Structure 1
């Protein structure tokens, strides 16, 4: 099962309310702060994240089996723990960038 979570939009514009994710050197507005669930991402020049993530809009879904999705698609960013309960990765499918999120119990 897949559940829509948000749309991620790269930007170069600083916005009020940004938080800073030091590990990925990215400023972001979380999607729960706006009605259309847009996650704005502003990257530092030395971010470790790939160009695709810095330049393409992505669509995020929660999935039941992240490993299955990774095996079936082109992985852009290998999985990592975004927090203690969420494992995420990025894939390309049909020319679209997707963020996949799996709840870890």
Structure 2
């Protein structure tokens, strides 16, 4: 499996200039690709359904070519979901920390 670094996600309780809100997870976020160090800030609403591990511990994220292959035999923290068109995301637990896998499919126009 080829893992290509994408970003680091850091939970916070501070207000930032949020780029978006993911309603199903009740997550406010900044766009990591706008940050020179690929940092994504995350703020979870009090009623967020996301696991405590994600809400309290920073995660590292990797691009993967095939989500199913990447998840094979892993301890899944958050099942695969699509936060946007052509994007699939899942979180695993690795040595007590969350790790994000991102699969990006090219858009056909």
TM-score of the aligned structures, taking structure 1 as reference length: 0.91
In structure 2, the residue matched to 1:81 is 82
Q: CA RMSD in A?
A: 1.3
- Gap runs ≥5 in structure 2: none
Corresponding residue number in structure 1 for 2:14: 13
1:94 maps to which residue? 95
- SS at structure 2 position matched to 1:67: helix
Please identify which structure carries the higher strand content. Answer: 1
User: Are residue 61 (structure 1) and residue 62 (structure 2) matched?
Assistant: yes
- The secondary structure found in structure 2 opposite 1:72 is coil
Report the CA distance between 1:92 and its aligned residue: 1.3
Structure 1 residues not aligned, in runs of 5+: none
Could you tell me the TM-score, scaled by structure 2's length? 0.88
Worse-matched range after superposition: 83-92 or 20-29: 20-29
